[in-house]
């Protein structure tokens, strides 16, 4: 339970959703975490590598698209308008809502009293998305880009939903539509800090009685053709000792060699305690 300042409202967690390299769902995730298993492997999300070794912690079930057993029927068409990070976030949120007893068709929370606070990292287009459009603005046989051709020629080569696919506020938008959440809504893009900030802001919203239930969480990946290059430029990246990827991520080890790229999403359902008790939620 979390007590916010001088507010008389107490906040409890009534749902958790996890999509991670260590497993999907809180039970599988906790079992693997408690057993000390590593999720770092050789990954194959994209060809080539800017990394010291082509290793990372990948949500394998999402290699091509979200598996049907995790994906709600009503969301299957809209998945086409989501990049990988958005898909991870939306699925973790639907999982958390189910755990909280607030899944599809729920009537326990008024839509105006159900809010969202969701975090993300910056979402980048893969290089191939811009490839044809960029080359169309170059002279034949050269790579000299002519910006004056972009509006007339380049944009016509882009996929129609390009912008919507990579906007970091879209997880909250898709989750809000799915859950019919019409209360306070915000998106935070503060990299690894986004999740903690989303939780803190959601607690404050509940404390000032602006909502009864808040969906809060975060999603992100550094397993991306461009973001791996950023990781190499900005961070110290780990190598697989003795060729064993499972021993690469050792953040508290004296002999650690650096970070490992990874991905995942987690969602909490935060709720006013009195409201949760009144509807019979499991605390």
In whole angstroms, what is the distance from residue 252 CA to residue 241 CA?
16
Q: Which ranges of the chain have pLDDT less than 70?
A: 1-6, 63-69
- DSSP-derived secondary structure for 126-161: -HHHHHHHHHHTB-TT---B-GGGIIIIIGGGS-TT
* Domains of the chain: residue spans and CATH: 2-124+170-278 (3.40.47.10), 127-165 (no CATH)
Predicted local confidence at residue 209, as pLDDT: 96
Q: Are the C-beta atoms of residues 125 and 162 closer than 8 Å to each other?
A: yes
- DSSP-derived secondary structure for 181-193: --S-EEEE--GGG
- DSSP-derived secondary structure for 58-75: --GGGSSS--GGGS-GGG
Predicted local confidence at residue 279, as pLDDT: 95
In whole angstroms, what is the distance from residue 239 CA to residue 235 CA?
13
Q: Whole-prediction pTM value? A: 0.90
185-221 pLDDT tens trace: 999 999 889 999 999 999 999 999 999 999 999 999 9
Chain centre to alpha carbon of residue 189 = 11
């Amino acid at each position: 339970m979390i007590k916010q300042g001088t507010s008389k409202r107490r906040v409890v967690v009534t749902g958790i959703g996890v999509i991670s390299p260590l497993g999907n769902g809180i039970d599988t995730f906790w079992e693997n975490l408690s057993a000390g298993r590593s999720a770092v492997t050789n990954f194959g999300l994209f060809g080539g590598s800017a990394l010291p070794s082509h290793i990372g912690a990948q949500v394998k079930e999402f290699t091509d698209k979200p598996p049907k057993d995790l994906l709600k029927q009503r969301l299957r068409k809209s998945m086409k308008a989501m990049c990988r990070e958005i898909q991870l976030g939306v699925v973790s949120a639907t999982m958390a809502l189910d755990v909280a007893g607030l899944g599809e068709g729920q009537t326990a929370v008024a839509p105006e009293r159900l809010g969202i606070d969701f975090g993300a990292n910056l979402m980048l287009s893969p290089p191939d998305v811009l490839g044809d459009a960029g080359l169309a603005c170059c002279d034949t046989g050269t790579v000299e880009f002519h910006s004056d051709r972009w509006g007339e020629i380049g944009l016509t080569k882009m996929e129609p939903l390009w912008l919507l696919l990579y906007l970091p506020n879209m997880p909250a938008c898709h989750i809000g539509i799915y859950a019919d959440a019409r209360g306070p809504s915000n998106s935070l893009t503060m990299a690894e800090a986004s999740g903690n900030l989303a939780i803190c802001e959601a607690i404050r919203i509940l404390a000032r009685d602006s909502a009864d239930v808040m969906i809060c969480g975060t999603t992100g990946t550094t397993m991306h053709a461009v973001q791996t290059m950023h990781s190499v430029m900005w961070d110290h990246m780990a190598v697989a000792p003795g060729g064993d990827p499972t021993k690469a991520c050792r953040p508290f080890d004296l002999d650690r060699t650096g970070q490992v790229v990874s991905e995942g999403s987690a969602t909490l359902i935060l709720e006013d305690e009195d409201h949760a008790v009144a509807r019979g939620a499991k605390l």
